[in-house]
Amino acid sequence: MELADRAVGFLLSLISISTFTYYTFWVIILPFVDSDHFVHQYFLPQEYAILVPVFAGVALLCFLCVFVGFVMLKSKKKKA
């Protein structure tokens, strides 16, 4: 089981580092590259650099609220 945990941890780390590198390049470096450069075809328009994290944050907040609500309801049923 330890090998599987290490593999999952490595995969999650790789995904996180890749996402961070992509987003950092997209937000910080890409505005200084000429707009007709071929590298722009690999990135979404600049407006999405704000919309994607905001949407992800709102979705995460909604999920956490629903999770806390279910836990509170479940603990209330155990007491009754």
pLDDT in tens, the chain (80 residues): 788 899 999 999 999 999 999 999 999 999 999 989 999 999 999 899 999 999 999 999 999 999 999 999 998 887 76
Enter the pTM of the model: 0.70
Q: CA-CA distance, 29 to 8, in Å (whole number)?
A: 30
User: What is the model's pLDDT at position 3?
Assistant: 84
Q: CA-CA distance, 52 to 43, in Å (whole number)?
A: 13
Q: Which of 26, 28, 71 is nearest to 44 (CA)?
A: 26
Q: CA-CA distance, 38 to 35, in Å (whole number)?
A: 8
**Domain residue limits, the chain:** 1-43, 46-80
